[in-house]
Structure 1
Amino acid sequence: MTKAAIDVSILGKSKPYESLPDTFILFFCTFDYLEKTLPVYTFKTICSEDNRIELGDGITKIIINSKAAEHEKNEKLKIFLEYMNGKVSDDEFIQRLERRIKEVKASEELRREYMLVNTIERDARNDGWKAGIVQGLAEGEARGSYQKALETARNLFAMGLSTEKIAQATDLTIQEVEAIALS
């Protein structure tokens, strides 16, 4: 769910945007998404040019990383992280959580809602993977085309063609062709 979708669901009709409460987006991961071995990663919107400037948009993203449970100093959070990793616990919070999970699984309406959210999340993740694959293929194709153009330019240069003709034939710049001539 995007920040805009969250805002729309919270903001009442005719209420000013400024009345929105702060938004916390939590990601519970059973893998170390950022590979820095922190149990919790917290992000706020910071200016890239000056990290002392915060946007103040009220958005906080928190990634909970269960794989770093042994590094967590807060005992309650450590128990929760261990629970995420499959460790059974008699902790009161974990027991309440277990009961709530059973209720959700038993409720057809809540189960459908959970599955819908899960499907949306999976679709978003798949779209991201697909976009990454398409981008990777495009970049690979572009690099391959460029390498082929360089190879063709070397061959044309060896045949005695002028720099201008080689640039025209290969779509390389004059400077790129001249660099080949100098190498």
Structure 2
Amino acid sequence: MQTTNRTNLAKRARYYQGLMDVDSLVSGADYSELNESYVIFLCMEDAFGNGLPVYDFHQVCKQDSEVLLNDGTHKVFFNASKYDKMPTESLREFFKFLNGLNAASDFTDQLEQKVRYAKTNAQWRHRFMTWEQEMRIQVKEKSEQLAKEMAKDLANEMVEDRVNAMRKDIEKEAKEMAAEKVEETAKKLLAEKIAPEVVAKCTGLSLEQVKKLANG
């Protein structure tokens, strides 16, 4: 399929023909087993500039054009710009289709379906890749956000735990200091010969605790 006019089509056709011949013979096969082969170019423009819809080349004798070499090779170049001059209706419809014009045949209908399917597939693949990329971005963003929230929550928990521990330490220390102060007060009252029962009542200590301080 040629969408632009190229000047090396003849040599390319020869090259392709050679490749086909090599590929069609297995190693050690005789050349007589070569199949008839066609190299066909579908050109959107006139490759040879003579205004023909089809250029069909065969090996012919230079001295007598009726003598054919019959080597089984064919090289055909279609000129899509001359779709209305094609030799058959099916070819005319096909090349109308290639030119983007309305064509009406079973073959062009099938081609249209294939083209539509290919386009849809390409768009679907693109949408899927876009969606996949978007999902990766969203997962990354969500994971980063979750990590930040977890770190923040962990930091908050650590701070809260630390504050609770400090509060407990302060409360414990305050209670110890208060207990020491009460005992100190109780000892002073006992030193002033205040009865243990009165000291216990004034300090909130039990009578046993006061008696223990008095004997200590």
TM-score (structure 1 length as normaliser): 0.51
Counterparts of residues 15-26 of structure 1 (less than 5 Å) = 15-26=29-40
Give yes or no for contact 2:93–2:104 (8 Å, CA) kept in 1.
Answer: no
Q: Secondary structure at the match of 1:93?
A: helix
Q: Secondary structure at the match of 2:83?
A: helix
- Higher Cα radius of gyration: 2
Alignment RMSD, CA only?
Answer: 2.5
TM-score (structure 2 length as normaliser): 0.44
C-alpha separation in 1, matches of 2:21 and 2:65: 26
Amino acid at match of 1:26: I
Counterpart of 2:86 (choices 64, 67, 72) is 72
Amino acid at match of 1:22: E
Give ranges in structure 2 of 5+ residues lacking alignment: 1-14, 123-216
Deviation, structure 1 residue 102: 5.9
Partner in structure 1 of residue 45 of structure 2: 31
Deviation, structure 1 residue 25: 0.7
Counterparts of residues 81-100 of structure 1 (less than 5 Å) = 81-100=95-114
Describe the shift of the 1:106–1:20 C-alpha distance in structure 2 as closer, same or farther (beyond 3 A). Answer: farther
Give yes or no for contact 2:59–2:68 (8 Å, CA) kept in 1.
Answer: yes
Q: Give the total of aligned pairs.
A: 108
C-alpha separation in 2, matches of 1:101 and 1:91: 15
Counterparts of residues 18-167 of structure 1 (less than 5 Å) = 18-101=32-115
| 1:10 pairs with 2:35 | no
Offset from partner CA, 1:124-174 (integer Å, 9 cap, x none): xxxxxxxxxxxxxxxxxxxxxxxxxxxxxxxxxxxxxxxxxxxxxxxxxxx
Q: Give the 4+ runs in structure 1 shifted more than 3 A.
A: 98-108
Deviation, structure 1 residue 42: 0.9
Partner in structure 1 of residue 190 of structure 2: none
Q: Secondary structure at the match of 2:77?
A: strand
Describe the shift of the 1:105–1:58 C-alpha distance in structure 2 as closer, same or farther (beyond 3 A). Answer: farther
Describe the shift of the 1:22–1:106 C-alpha distance in structure 2 as closer, same or farther (beyond 3 A). Answer: farther
Q: Secondary structure at the match of 1:67?
A: helix
Describe the shift of the 1:74–1:48 C-alpha distance in structure 2 as closer, same or farther (beyond 3 A). Answer: same
Give yes or no for contact 2:56–2:77 (8 Å, CA) kept in 1.
Answer: yes
